[in-house]
Amino acid sequence: MGWYSTQVVPRLVNTACGSRVTRARRQQVCAGLHGRVLEIGFGSGLNVPFYPADVQVVDAVEPADVGWRLAARRLAASPVAVRRSGLDGQLLHFADDTFDGALSTWTLCTIPDPLAALREVRRVLRPGAALHFVEHGLAPDAGVQRWQHRLEPFQQRLAGGCHLSRPITALLNDAGWDVLGLQTLYERGAPKVLGADVTGTAVASGP
């Protein structure tokens, strides 16, 4: 990975993903997490202030060293213990049935093989445990979808491999998750191509 990807992209993400609107969404998505939690694509720790008090420890999986460094102040202020426990959500070094919950916020756009990551998260969650998510992806409207496909190559180069048009709910289903309480929305203040979000929780659909 080059200088732009390792040094610039994590800082861009830290700024772009840190707005007031995203903070409200983070609070909503983190609600209900408890016990031992896995967070994939931890970034610069923008979810840390929203971990509920019932969370005992968070195992954070994040490849970007700069993201981890940018998280330092949030980590120092957090009553919840957080440890960097991996670099790649596609290959998790945890035993089956390890976690009480998992968290992914705007991460499935960037992981090269999101299906592999979703299968891994499913493997390491205890039976009945939920993945809490908010992700941007394929918009519900054909006109917006057309622009997403046009802009996708530029977005991928600018934003460290971020895809605009991944069908997040279908990916979850294909990886063996049932989605509960699904909300589909355009995030306020974001361009529709980038702000077509789905949010909810997901539980493993079977053995």
Ligand X SMILES: C[S@@+](CC[C@H](N)C(=O)[O-])C[C@H]1O[C@@H](n2cnc3c(N)ncnc32)[C@H](O)[C@@H]1O
Q: Which residues bind ligand X (CB under 6 A)?
A: 13, 17, 40-41, 43, 46, 61-64, 67, 88-90, 105-107, 110-111, 162
DSSP annotation of 199: E
Which of 127/131 has CB closer to ligand X? 131
Which of 100/120 has CB closer to ligand X? 120
Tell me, rounded to whole angstroms, the distance of Cα 46 from its chain centroid. 11
With tokens 């705007």, the residue in question is 106
CA distance linking residue 192 with residue 138, whole number of Å? 10
> Least separation, in Å, of the C-beta of 41 and ligand X?
3
- Which residue number is nearest to ligand X in terms of Cβ? 43
> Least separation, in Å, of the C-beta of 89 and ligand X?
3
DSSP lists the bridge partners of residue 102 as: 38, 131
Which of 62/197 has CB closer to ligand X? 62
DSSP annotation of 107: -
Which of 33/64 has CB closer to ligand X? 64
> Least separation, in Å, of the C-beta of 199 and ligand X?
12
> Least separation, in Å, of the C-beta of 126 and ligand X?
21
Instruction: Give the residue among 115, 119, 59 at the shortest CA–CA distance from 84.
Output: 59
Give the angle 100-183-28 at the CA atoms, nearest 5°: 50
